[in-house]
Amino acid sequence: MALQLYGDLNSQPSRSVYIFLKKNNIPFEYKEVRLFMGEQYSEEYQKINPLGKVPVIKDGDFVLAESVAILKYLAGKYRTPEHWYPTELQQRARVDEYLAWQHFSLRPQAAKVFMIKGLVPVVAGRPEPEASVKEAVDELNQSLEKFQQKFLQDKPFVVGAEISLADLVAIVELMQPLGAGYDPLDGRTPLMAWRERVKAAVGQGLFDEVHAPVLNTQQSLQWITQNQPALFEGLKKIILKKGK
């Protein structure tokens, strides 16, 4: 049985795993779990992952959640090229350092900007107060400064000359606000150049394919508001709560 990936490409962690699998030619069956439809809360999915989140992989009888754990598992099992997750101790530690840091910095902050600038205005029918938007953007900007100064520095990638899991996870996080029409890297020349290097390393076609859903999230949500009012009311409660 082929490896199975349960995910939603609107989800930052799902995108990182999907890209890694595709880029490394690892055979897998993709099973979409539509977050906007609440499928992560279904009884069927809860049996697979009681945490109610994506992504999850099933490798035979082995079920694994949490994207960072999944990426490391895949790198080890399929012996992917060394640059993704180096075996050299200090280089691997640098990758792990970023993966540990991002959980409470770039990832939630980028998601909040996406939520507050992109989703909340659609479901609430009005923009968020400027002070709330500014606070979210300022927090993300502070972490971007730290990412550039601490992790990327003057290197092409986080661990030197080639892309690693750290770069992959970071790029999918920083693409999220683009779904709200906001580019957090605008004006940051070193980070914009880094983004282009990551795109080239992943492959432009694959990169565009995987990010298409999040870049069209607002349109998808608008369709739901017009065509599935009951679902919209449920989503509205979730989005407004998360946008606070």
Instruction: For residues 107 and 115, give the distance between their C-alpha atoms in angstroms, rounded to a whole number.
Output: 12
Q: Which residue ranges in the chain fall short of pLDDT 70?
A: 218, 220-244
Instruction: Output the pLDDT for position 127.
Output: 81
Structural domains of the chain, with CATH: 3-77 (3.40.30.10), 89-237 (1.20.1050.10)
Instruction: Output the pLDDT for position 115.
Output: 86
Encoded tokens for 243: 């946008």
Instruction: Output the pLDDT for position 35.
Output: 85
Instruction: Output the pLDDT for position 70.
Output: 98
The percent of the chain in helix, strand and coil, each rounded to the nearest 5, is 65, 10, 25
Instruction: Output the pLDDT for position 36.
Output: 77
pTM of the predicted protein model = 0.91
Instruction: Output the pLDDT for position 129.
Output: 86
